[in-house]
Amino acid sequence: MQFKDKVAVVTGAASGIGKAISTMFSNEGAKLVLADINKDGLAAFEKGLKDRGTEAIGVYTDVTKLDMVKALLKAALDRFGKIDIMCNNAGIILPDDIDKASYDSIDRQIHINLYGVIYGTKEVIPIMKKQGFGHIVNTASLGGIVPEPGSAVYSATKFAIRGFDLAVRLELLGSPVGISTVCPDSTETPQLQYEAEHGGSAMSFLDKIQPPEAVAKAVAKAILKNKIEVYVPHSQGMLARLGLSLPWLLPPLWPMLEKSGAKNLERRLRTQGRK
């Protein structure tokens, strides 16, 4: 139990990937500070973890509000006295072609996906430097390595997280603080279901959908091995990086990829009785 008695702060903890990450830490004996904007889901998850013997607190947090991010970290320190791990995981996707997207949806995605990560990272680094240890894991996406048509703003935020993390890692060289990026392929979460029902990109349904537990394992690997980036699955990450190195191939390949992804999406909705 390599995370036993470690204190982990996880944003977006009430569902999806955040819930799987938190459960993984709980199974390993960690102490948890759960953050989410979903009050009911957060309270229910906190109670469930406590019932199984995990030391945990839930802190209602809107990651787009700097004062709430500061309050989250203060709550962690007040309760546990340290922060070993910070997982900036909260995210949202509101699919639409850019010319049709509302400015409200653009702002929400940028503020939650990017500002939330930047705020959490910036605020926790001084704490970790002072205590002499700590690791940050930020959730990006394979959509931050190859473009995701129909979700250009989401894709832009995930590209930005990778660039941010790579720069911060260089800034942290020689310090006791580590930072890693986790880049999952499409993962079975409420967010993915929202995509499926609201015109999500065919790219999201091109390959096998990952369980959120696979992403949680990647988070553990990123921390324990101090990885720069971890892809879920690794093979798709390498293909994505290859695709990015040859951007001129994407336009001619896109019609075929879109057709394949659209078939998988239609099959998914039909199986669920939604089409």
Instruction: Please name each of the domains of the chain with its CATH number.
Output: 7-190+209-247 (3.40.50.720)
SS3 48: helix
CA pair distance 61, 75, nearest whole angstrom: 11
Ranges of H-type helices in the chain? 16-27, 39-51, 66-80, 103-109, 116-131, 152-171, 190-197, 212-224, 234-245, 250-271
What is each CA distance from 13 to 113, 114, 174, 216, in whole angstroms? 14, 17, 31, 12
Kindly state the tokens that stand for 202: 């065919």
pLDDT recorded at residue 275: 62
**Mean pLDDT value of segment 45-65:** 98
C-beta separation of 124 from 89 below 8 A: no
115, 119, 154, 231: the catalytic one is: 154
What is the mean predicted confidence (pLDDT) over 179-185?
Answer: 96
The pLDDT value recorded for residue 267 is 87
Bridge-based pairing of strands 85-88 and 177-184 is unpaired
Q: Please give the average per-residue pLDDT across 37-50, as a whole number.
A: 98
Largest Cα–Cα distance in the chain? 55
Report the alpha-carbon distance of residue 219 to residue 25 in Å, rounded.
Answer: 10
Q: Is the confidence at residue 160, as pLDDT, over 90?
A: yes
Residue 256: the pLDDT is 83
Confidence of residue 221 (pLDDT cuts 50, 70, 90): very high
Average confidence score pLDDT of the chain: 94
Q: Is the pLDDT of residue 243 over 80?
A: no
Active site residue 231: no
Find tokens 């995509």 and name the residue: 195
How many CA atoms lie within 13 Å of 191's alpha carbon, on the beta-carbon side?
A: 27
Q: How far apart are CA 88 and CA 137, in angstroms?
A: 6
Q: What is the pLDDT of residue 72?
A: 98
CA torsion sign for 60, 55, 215, 274 is negative
User: First and final CA of the chain: distance in angstroms?
Assistant: 45
Find the mean pLDDT for residues 81-96.
97
User: What pLDDT was estimated at residue 63?
Assistant: 98
Examine the pLDDT at 124 and tell me if it is beyond 90.
Answer: yes
Q: Is 0.85 topped by the overall pTM?
A: yes
